[in-house]
Copies of this chain bind each other. A is one copy, B any other.
Amino acid sequence: MSEATGVTAAQGFRAAGIAAGIKKSGRADLALVVNDGPRTEAAGVVTRNKVKAAPVLWTQQVLTSGALRAVVLNSGGANACTGPEGFRTAHATAEKVAEVLGCGAVEVGVCSTGLIGEQLPRDTVLAGVEKAAAELAATPEAGTAVATAIMTTDTVPKQAHVTDPAGWTVGGTTKGAGMIAPSMATMLTVLTTDAVVERPLLDAALREAVRYSFDRLDIDGSMSTNDTVLVLASGATGVPADPAVFTAALTRVCRNLAEQMQADAEGVTKRITVRVTGAASEDDAVTIARTVARDSLVKTAMFGSDPNWGRIAAAAGYADAQLDPERLDVTINGVLLCRGAVVAGDRADCDLSGPDITIEVELGLSGGADGNTAEIRTTDLSHAYVEENSAYSS
């Protein structure tokens, strides 16, 4: 696993990230990722929010063909809640990409991120596409330029790749820092691979990878209008990927990207992992872990480095899942503080001063090989989170 290169780590891809002038700050705000083939399989997962941004509606349509030649992404505006006019902008952007690449607009995915409810400056975006097309390159620098151009409140570009001994590579980049959850959120991710991957495998592998990475990251329980994860396969190595190996590699890259998002979440001072074991089902494990991870009182306690296991037990208790208080154990950073929903260890033994906190909730309803477990990653609720999300519109 390397974090040096992202979408251009795999062969067959060129990329560019430029400043189109969408952001008033003059920072990079438009990116283009092009699949030069020879193959063009693609798959995607988009937000389950019923209010979907125009680029999401566009990308959902073009994904039905199962093939993409390019993805164009912008920061500086979500193009969400912008009506027919916003959809025309997304469409025009895809047409412009198709024109400069000599392909069809239906082969172009579109992703946007930024403030909801404002029209994108269409001419600025279209001029940006031409500028980006002129700078396309297969270099690591070009991949980093993509990672940089899609940043909003992110403080660092995020990318990762793995190369399999068989010779193929999976790479990717992501952005997202605030509106993360219940299953991804303004979160845009582009993944690339030069393995030969048939569409059904690509689709299945992506769903599995997302399920155990972005879907298990829950910063504030909000789900955005724009979340999109796309994977493009060029087949440039000519090496067919083994399904299980490919799925594992894609999952590793997605988990690494999700960890980078967690570390860079808005206002984070603690990286928290909530691990639930012994649940009645895997769904119950996810539900309880997510409820604890989302609880404002748990999150503020963690910000205060306070091993307040009572709030954790209370949050587990109101989750919509099976729970028997007499079997409920809570462990924080390795110290068993609550056994059978009763005080066990000494809070003073539990040091939460560092940046990493692991909360373990054992439910005692399953175990051994049949144990149902889940992990959700989240962050604390800090003054900086409040500041960042109240001081300006985003």
Q: List chain A positions with a Cβ less than 8 A from chain B.
A: 48-52, 78, 80-83, 86, 115-119, 178-179, 182, 220-225, 294-297, 300-301, 303-304, 306, 308-311, 313-318, 323-325, 328, 337-338, 340-343, 381-383, 385-387, 389-393
| Contact of B179 with A310 in the complex, beta carbons under 8 Å | no
Distance in angstroms between the alpha carbons of A324 and B182 in the assembled complex: 20
A-B contact pairs, 7 of them (CB 8 A): A50-B324, A52-B325, A115-B310, A117-B313, A222-B297, A225-B314, A296-B381
The 6 closest A-B pairs by CB, nearest first: A116-B310, A51-B317, A304-B390, A300-B389, A83-B342, A223-B318
Supposing A300-B385, A308-B393, A389-B296 touch, asked if A50 and B343 sit within 8 A by C-beta, the answer is no
Distance in angstroms between the alpha carbons of A52 and B390 in the assembled complex: 35
* Other contacts beyond A119-B343, A222-B311: 18, CB < 8 A: A50-B325, A51-B313, A51-B314, A52-B317, A81-B310, A83-B341, A115-B310, A116-B313, A117-B337, A118-B343, A178-B297, A222-B314, A222-B318, A223-B317, A301-B390, A301-B393, A304-B391, A386-B386
Contacts of A50 in B (CB 8 A): 317-318, 323-325
| Contact of B225 with A51 in the complex, beta carbons under 8 Å | no
Quote the shortest CB–CB distance from A272 to chain B (angstroms): 14
